[in-house]
Amino acid sequence: MSVLSAKAFESVTRLFHGVSGIRLGEHKQALVAGRLQKLAQESGEDSVDAYVERLVGGHAPAEEMTRVIDRLTTNETYFFREPQHFNDLSVRLRAEPRREWQVWSAASSSGEEAYSAAMLMDEVLGDGAWQITGTDLSTAMVESARRGLYPLDRARLVPPAYLGRYCLKGQREHEGQLLVARTLRQRVRFLQANLMQELPKLPLFDVIFLRNVLIYFDNEAKGQIVRRVLRQLKPDGVLYTGHAESLSTLGLPLRTLATAIHGHG
């Protein structure tokens, strides 16, 4: 099977950007080629370029674009990534334990971020009034998050007490994996959502995690996404962004509370 040509790469990334808002630079060509090659094989095409031509020409089934999005947006993450945010959340939860907490993991990937917050909230709030919503562009990631089954190496930052309380160690065919406990999974719901489009019906949130996703967008798209997300944040709510993501030049109605921690401006 042939490699992905520069022309086909430009065509498919332009299509992908139009659907998702995500720009894939030339340095991603090898990654895109590898993932599309598998899709081309699965669809019976003789070459990656032929697969792209069928996709861009509108001759592929509608669900094929969903498969492309799923493959091109798959990113590995891990539990308790950027722990400063979870330390900050812990302080906020302990200051208002009787509050009805709503938390949104807005780019939840395979769910580790949402379940990390759930472990912390269960420890602090127990059976109190709290719920977590996770959303992601990829339907495959949403289904994976709902299962709550992960390689053990993604739990390297999980406190040992949490591992014992909230995670089940896999046996036999699941050796080397962990399963998030059902009691925790019942507190977290996952939905498909495109942050560049109208969002599904969501509540207002006290806390929103919008981390390590804005780096894939240009400044115009970043501004659109953050403004859309902010409409779901309560007036006294807090927005967590990735430490490598700067919002200072976007003219957004935000005030910085601490590094990568924001409130309404």
Residue of 35, 67, 154, 211 with catalytic role: 35
35 catalytic residue (yes or no) = yes
d(CA 12, CA 103): 35
136 catalytic residue (yes or no) = yes
Could you tell me which residues come within 8 angstroms of residue 86 by beta carbon, excluding any fewer than 6 positions away? 80, 116, 117, 120
SS3 letters across 73-133: CCCCCCCCCCHHHHHHHHHHHHHCCCCCEEEEECCCCCCHHHHHHHHHHHHHHCCCCEEEE
Handedness of CA 222, 227, 228, 229 (dihedral sign): positive
Residue of 70, 136, 154, 211 with catalytic role: 136
d(CA 187, CA 183): 7
Closest CA to 183 of 115, 135, 124: 115
Residues with a known catalytic role: 35, 136
